[in-house]
């Protein structure tokens, strides 16, 4: 199912939105739960299945969602041969930002089920719209996570579309809602509007003049959060450690003393393999850990604030940051032009000649080339060209293309091949 | 009559005192009266710290805390401990079950404690009744503030009718 998406570039990568030289994309997601079920983590497999069925039923009936497909995901990580395929599909969707990255790893590691066995989320899936600018994740942390993406700074447009989808679904489903707390969500951090609005920013200028911390501070003062985009590997180690210590507290303690018993159980192995095998994809972490000068700016509060206010504040702050970035780019062009030209030319050279590329390095190259395109130093390629590679150079995109069992070396080679063809001078 | 305190001088004053709601009569000589009045309770005092809880009491308090953490949501089975550890609840009923803790967590996370965003756009009678109830309740509060009791009584009746209607609709649904 997911394979059919592989060769279609998502619409939001087109780089034609407003402020596209700084803003890669705007995204909004809405969390909704059905009134008559507990949240997915507390549902039985049967209950999750009826939730999925109800969702499928709506997808069939609602015209608005007619153009798209439903991709079933991960029935069980331990179910056998098909699991790897499904895992691949999940990661792929997450890399396309059609699913919450963090969710992918964590929704499989749930609390111990009956008799202390690990319980995996059974029926789950994602509806993906034809143009890949909208998705609805079913049975993630919440029953539904609707998400809309658009190129450039288009928060209001994104919200308008998301709002319409929400209204349409609300006509067919009874959402868990309360006058006081608004929309109920499993995470106390999202209750209220259930809205998470974000813009993905490319800030190489501010990074070059060392002003990212200032922007970070600014975001904090205005109750927003700025996070850096980083390759997943660090996260996985952390994720495995945390996951294992939750699942097998005793084993976790032993492991910290040097033993490795935690890894020996088959479940533990499955989890760690699942997490470790995703070598390079992206997720958002601390500002200081950002790679490729990519940052995610999002709102932090959902209760006591309306959707419109949330978007207003975020847009306002994004506008400020864009202005600062433009200013920084101007300064660099005027005062440090040689270094800028050198950086862009080097990146292009590497992209055209390298035989092995790690994802981190690829991100750095793409950042420099994107800056080159934005400042007019590179005229042969468009923002869209760079944006598309940003997605396509991620680990699971490459694995999907080449087949599943490809090791780190093959991945690096394939990535370099991709860069060579996409940036070939002729 | 001799003074009831010193039993030496002649009692010339009859002194009545109210202590703990009981009237105490005393026949005193002027000297003793002056002494007594100085000692008399003239105001409130802070209570002395109570007895230090015994070890057993402290243990039971700890147990009570542990019980609290083990408290389960009747609807979904999530424990309070799990909620506090993960910041996640198991179902919408948890918000009510663990109201106190949920509220204090939400206070730290958000800008306010009341939802101000959109309301599900549902075109059914229940939603209309609920919205009507909300308005009527707000009007009632206003009427009570302005001491318009006639209007308040009227509104109260209307609210009762709407509540019944809502209950019936929910049972049907």
Contact list, A182 vs chain B (CB under 8 Å): 115-117
**Rounded mean pLDDT, B132-143:** 75
Tell me the pLDDT tens digit for each residue of B92-133: 889 998 999 899 889 888 888 899 889 886 656 666 676 677
- Specify the DSSP element, H or E, that contains A284: strand A282-285
Strands (E), A173-223: 177-178, 182-183, 195-202
CB-based contact A181 B118, cutoff 8 Å? no
Query: Looking at A26-30, A100-104, A348-352, which range is the least confident one?
Result: A100-104
Contact list, B135 vs chain A (CB under 8 Å): none
Give the pLDDT of residue A13: 85
Is residue A274 predicted with pLDDT exceeding 60?
A: no
The count of CB pairs under 8 A between chains A and B is: 113
Distance between CA atoms of A293 and A200, rounded to whole angstroms?
Answer: 10
Distance between CA atoms of A122 and A377, rounded to whole angstroms?
Answer: 50
CB-based contact A305 B88, cutoff 8 Å? no
Q: Which of B109, B138, B166, B169 to mutate to test the interface with A (most CBs of A within 10 A)?
A: B109
Conformational region of residue A284, where left means phi above 0, alpha means psi within -120 to 50, and beta covers everything else = beta
With vertex at residue B110, the alpha carbon angle to CA B107 and CA B114, rounded to the nearest 5 degrees, is 80
Give the pLDDT of residue A258: 36
- A233 contact partners, CB below 8 Å, separation of at least 6: A279, A280
- Nearest-Cα distance to chain B for A7, in Å, is 37
CB-based contact B90 A186, cutoff 8 Å? yes
- Nearest-Cα distance to chain B for A171, in Å, is 6
- Nearest-Cα distance to chain A for B150, in Å, is 28
- Nearest-Cα distance to chain A for B66, in Å, is 19
Contact list, B102 vs chain A (CB under 8 Å): 188
Nearest CA in chain B to A173: B122
- Nearest-Cα distance to chain B for A418, in Å, is 41
Give the pLDDT of residue A275: 40
CB-based contact A188 B89, cutoff 8 Å? yes
Query: Looking at A105-114, A165-174, B127-136, which range is the least confident one?
Result: A105-114
Tell me the pLDDT tens digit for each residue of A326-345: 999 999 999 999 999 999 99
Give the pLDDT of residue B134: 67
Is residue A89 predicted with pLDDT exceeding 90?
A: no
Q: pLDDT band at A32, cuts 50/70/90?
A: very high
């Amino acid at each position: 199912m997911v394979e059919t998406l592989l060769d279609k570039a998502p619409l939001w990568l087109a780089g034609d939105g407003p402020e596209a030289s700084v803003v890669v994309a705007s995204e909004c997601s809405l969390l909704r739960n059905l009134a008559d079920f507990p949240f997915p983590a507390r549902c039985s497999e049967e209950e999750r299945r009826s939730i999925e069925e109800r969702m499928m039923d709506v997808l069939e009936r609602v015209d608005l969602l007619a153009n798209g497909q439903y991709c079933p995901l991960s029935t069980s990580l331990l179910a056998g041969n098909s699991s790897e395929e499904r895992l691949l599909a999940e990661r792929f969707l997450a890399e396309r930002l059609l699913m919450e990255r963090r969710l992918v790893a964590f929704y499989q590691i749930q609390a111990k089920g009956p008799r202390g066995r690990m319980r995996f989320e059974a029926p789950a899936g994602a509806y993906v719209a034809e143009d890949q600018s909208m998705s609805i994740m079913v049975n993630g942390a919440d029953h539904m996570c609707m998400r809309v993406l658009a190129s450039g700074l288009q928060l209001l447009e994104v919200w308008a579309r998301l709002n319409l989808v929400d209204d349409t679904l609300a006509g067919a489903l009874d959402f868990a809602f309360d006058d006081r707390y608004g929309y109920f969500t499993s995470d106390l951090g999202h209750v209220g509007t259930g809205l998470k609005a974000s813009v993905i920013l490319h800030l190489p200028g501010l990074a070059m003049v060392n002003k990212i911390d200032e922007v970070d501070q600014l975001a904090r003062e205005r109750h927003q959060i700025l996070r850096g985009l980083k390759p997943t590997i660090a996260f996985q180690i952390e994720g495995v450690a945390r996951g294992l210590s939750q699942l097998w507290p005793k084993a976790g303690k032993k492991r910290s003393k040097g033993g490795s018993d935690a890894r020996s159980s088959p479940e533990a192995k499955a989890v760690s393999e699942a997490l470790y095998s995703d070598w390079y994809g992206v997720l958002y972490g601390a500002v200081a850990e950002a790679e490729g000068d990519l940052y995610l700016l999002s709102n932090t509060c959902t209760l006591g604030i309306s959707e419109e206010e949330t978007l207003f504040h975020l847009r306002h702050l994004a506008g400020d940051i864009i202005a600062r970035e433009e200013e920084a780019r101007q300064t660099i062009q005027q005062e440090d032009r040689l270094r800028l030209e050198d950086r862009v030319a080097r990146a292009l050279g590497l992209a055209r000649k390298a035989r092995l590329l790690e994802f981190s390095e690829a991100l750095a190259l793409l950042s420099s080339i994107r800056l080159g395109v934005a400042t007019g130093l590179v005229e042969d390629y468009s923002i869209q060209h760079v944006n598309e590679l940003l997605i396509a150079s991620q680990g699971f995109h490459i694995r999907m293309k080449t087949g599943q069992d490809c090791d780190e070396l093959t991945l690096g080679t394939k990535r370099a091949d991709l860069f060579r063809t996409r940036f070939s001078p002729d | 009559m001799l003074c009831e305190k010193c039993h030496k001088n002649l009692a010339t004053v009859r002194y009545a005192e109210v202590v703990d709601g009981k009237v105490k009569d005393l026949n005193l000589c002027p000297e003793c009266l002056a002494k007594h009045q100085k000692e008399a309770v003239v105001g409130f005092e802070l209570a002395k710290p109570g007895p230090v809880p015994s070890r057993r009491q402290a243990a039971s308090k700890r147990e009570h805390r542990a019980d609290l953490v083990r408290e389960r949501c009747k609807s979904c089975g999530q424990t309070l401990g799990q909620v506090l550890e993960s910041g996640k609840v198991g179902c919408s009923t948890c918000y009510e079950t663990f109201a106190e803790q949920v509220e204090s967590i939400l206070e730290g996370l958000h800008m306010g404690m009341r939802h101000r965003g959109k309301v599900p756009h549902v075109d059914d009678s229940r939603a209309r009744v609920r919205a009507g109830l909300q308005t009527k309740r707000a009007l009632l509060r206003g009427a009570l503030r302005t001491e318009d009791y006639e209007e308040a009584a009227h509104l109260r009746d209307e609210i009762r009718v709407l509540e019944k209607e809502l209950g019936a609709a929910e049972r049907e649904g």
